[in-house]
Structure formats: C-alpha cells, structure tokens
Structure 1
Amino acid sequence: MSEVMDYKSRLSDPSSRKFETFSYLPAMTENEIRKQVEYLISKGWNPAIEHTEPEFVMDYYWYMWKLPMFGETDVDKVLAEADACRKANPNNHVRLIGYNNFNQSQGAAMVIYRGKTV
C-alpha cells in the first residue's frame, strides 16, 4: 500500500484550507471546467453558481449567483454566468453546483474558481 499524504490544512492558515475533493488538486483549466458543465448537463441536472469570501469557505452559507439555471442545456451560457460571477466577485471562491431533480439534492458541487486567500 502506498503511503498516505497528510495535507497541512489548518483553520488558522486560510491559504491551506481544503474545502472539497477538487481543492486537493491543481486549479481546473477552462477546458476541465467546461467538461464538468457538460457532465452536469448530460445528467439532466440544473446548474447553479454560488460564491463566498475565502475566509468564510468553511461556513454553510454561500451566496447564490442569480437563480439556478433550471433546464439550461447550453454549456456556454453556464460558463458565461460563472465567469460573470467571478468578474463581479474577483476575490471570492466560485462554486458550480448540479441540482438533481429526481433526488431533490445536489448531484455535484465543486469550486471552479478560487479567490484570493488572506
């Protein structure tokens, strides 16, 4: 078995905080973000965009960017909204969510743009 790596994530060090699985990986490229949006749409999930300040990333409340995009199937429209959110809130983390209508829950949630850390 390979050795498990310890990530030095501490509440006292905002730049080290890990907040979801993808945050342990390098930031996603634009193409990788596009693939995630394509996946959400292919599953029939409703995309939504949320954002929050990096110092509050561990809180349960994130600000919703507009309403969820119910029934949206255009990848470029979803990406344009995510980019608009990032431009309007350049220091915030921006999260992409896929709401699953059938299960009445989030099918996926991931930070696609990372804000500046303190």
Structure 2
Amino acid sequence: MATVQAYKATKKFETFSYLPQMTPEQVRRQIAYAIAQGWNPAVEHTERGTPAKVSFWYMWKLPMFGEQSVDVVLAELEACHREFPDHMVRFVAYDNYAQSQGLAFVVYR
C-alpha cells in the first residue's frame, strides 16, 4: 500500500493551493469562468496564523450580485489586499442554483 505524502513546507488552502502559484492571467481566467457560469463573485479575507483563525473568512463588502466585469472583481481583490495587507485574500463564486460555492481560491497569501 502506498503512503500519502504530507505537505510540510507550506500551509494549503483550497484546491488550487496544491498547484504552483497562479499567474495574474490565470486568476483572471478563473474569475472569467465563474462569471460565465452565472456565479456571483465575492471577496473574503482572514488573518494569517493558527488554523482556528484561518477557518473563518470575513466577507469584503457584499457579494457582487450579477457582476459581469472581471476588472471590477480584480479591483475589489486588490482593494481588500491594500486595506488588509497582512491578511490572506480569496476569491469566492457563489452558485445561486446549487446554493453553494462554485469556486474559491486564495489570491493573496
């Protein structure tokens, strides 16, 4: 039976954190995909630190219901990062139909 490798070097958050860091263009394409699916974009942030702190994410403003511009979403991600430079910032896309998150990934560590 094969053993499972533990990732000890860095903490992992969300699915994409197990892949190499996304380029700005890759982040843009993921946001464009979420918008194309009709999902509502949102920005969340949390303190770095213990797992207990990372388990709760604060919402940055309200979700951007019906937003169709990738640039507007990117601007909100950057604004949140400027306001909370020591926090992790993630993009979340809410699926109205499934009433769940369709996509979520950390943009700023």
TM-aligned CA deviation for residue 8 of structure 1: 3.1
Identity %: 52
Instruction: Report Cα offsets for 1:42-90 as digits up to 9, x if no partner.
Output: 0000000001112145543101000000000011000000011111111
C-alpha contact (below 8 Å) 1:19/1:57 kept by paired residues: no
The residue that corresponds to 1:7 in the other structure is 6
C-alpha contact (below 8 Å) 2:92/2:101 kept by paired residues: yes
Q: Distance in 2 between matches of 1:54 and 1:42?
A: 31
C-alpha contact (below 8 Å) 1:40/1:47 kept by paired residues: yes
Give the counterpart of 2:65 among 60, 66, 70. 70
Give the counterpart of 1:29 among 2, 23, 26. 23
Q: Distance in 2 between matches of 1:25 and 1:66?
A: 28
The residue that corresponds to 1:90 in the other structure is 85
The residue that corresponds to 1:52 in the other structure is 46
| 1:79 pairs with 2:74 | yes
| TM-score, normalised by the number of residues in structure 1 | 0.81
Q: What are structure 2's unaligned runs of at least 5 residues?
A: none
Task: Give structure 1 regions of 4+ aligned residues with deviation exceeding 6 angstroms.
Answer: none
Code of the residue aligned with 1:44 in structure 2: it is G
Q: Distance in 1 between matches of 2:38 and 2:72?
A: 15
The residue that corresponds to 1:12 in the other structure is none
Q: Distance in 2 between matches of 1:31 and 1:45?
A: 19
Q: What are structure 1's unaligned runs of at least 5 residues?
A: 10-14
| TM-score, normalised by the number of residues in structure 2 | 0.87
C-alpha contact (below 8 Å) 1:46/1:68 kept by paired residues: yes
Q: Distance in 1 between matches of 2:19 and 2:3?
A: 15
